[in-house]
Amino acid sequence: MAANFWASSHSKQLLDPEDVDVVPAADRERGITTEEFRLVKIHMSSHIWRLAQQVKVRQRVIATAITYFRRVYTRKSMSEYDPRLVAPACLYLASKVEESTVQARLLVFYIKKMCAGSDDKYRFEIKDILEMEMKLLEALDYYLVVYHPYRPLLHLLQDAGVTDLTQFAWGLVNDTYKMDLILVQPPYMIALACIYIASVLKDKDTTSWFEELHVDMNIVKNISMEILDFYETYKVDPQRGLSDEKISPIMNKLPAKA
């Protein structure tokens, strides 16, 4: 898995941590801070997750869509690329790339259903999604292959003899998509960090197994601390994302759709 990853376009696009959460000039001019930029990405990742549950796609599609979403904002501003439209367009594109195609009209239907009686800025038509899909392809430089931690996670859990940690570790991996880890760390290292956290919290001794892997435990522990710090800092409702009171003032700084 690791060898395949290192030969992929995904590996060539890994970023340094300081290259993510950089607020574009157009967004700074609208008063969006680094923290607010991060909060929008967290909230819209949850929005993709909820929308994906409505249209019933595989976990891999969701993860790929969120990865696209986060990649876009290392290159484009939210002022130019409205995250409320980029989110469903990323899900639409990811569903095709991962061969689990969702019709754009279904996305439009469920967005309107999810946002009924609330913020109409989230509502778009089919043509909006199709047009944004083309913009996304250009923004992503047509690099659409994404490796995820899920497959190495299952292999590593089995190798370590701790398959009883699968559900817990899988949930940790899911939560890493509320962060930018997939943009800066190899997927198997994210998987190892989630196994490390799970083994510590569930009192499983995996010390000797980690030693046999000959991985840099400083990196594993640093990723683990980043994940745990995220839990401590951000209280994200998995069903609703961030509260309207927290996210609406930030979204209101962005241009309203035409």
Q: Is 237 exposed, middle or buried (0-12, 13-18, 19+ CB in 10 A)?
A: exposed
Per-residue pLDDT of 94-149, as tens digits, reads 999 999 989 999 999 998 888 765 666 677 889 999 999 999 999 999 999 999 99
Does residue 203 have a pLDDT over 50?
A: yes
Per-residue pLDDT of 45-68, as tens digits, reads 999 999 999 999 999 999 999 999
**Radius of gyration from C-alpha coordinates of the chain:** 18
Q: And the tokens for 243?
A: 């509260």
Q: Under CATH, to which class is 14-145+238-251 assigned?
A: mainly alpha
Question: Largest Cα–Cα distance in the chain?
Answer: 59
Domain ranges within the chain, ordered by starting residue: 14-145+238-251, 150-233
Provide long-range contacts, Cβ within 8 A and 24+ apart, for 219-226: 219/189, 220/189, 220/192, 220/193, 220/196, 221/193, 221/196, 223/181, 223/185, 223/189, 223/190, 223/192, 223/193, 224/193, 224/196, 224/197, 226/179, 226/181
Sign of CA dihedral 215, 176, 179, 20: positive
What's the whole-number mean pLDDT along residues 166-186?
A: 97
Q: And the tokens for 180?
A: 């930018």
- Topology of the domain comprising 150-233: Cyclin A; domain 1 (1.10.472)
- 234 C-beta neighbours (distance < 10 Å), count: 14
Coil, strand or helix at 24? coil
Mean pLDDT of the chain: 92
Q: Which helix (H) or strand (E) holds 233?
A: helix 217-233
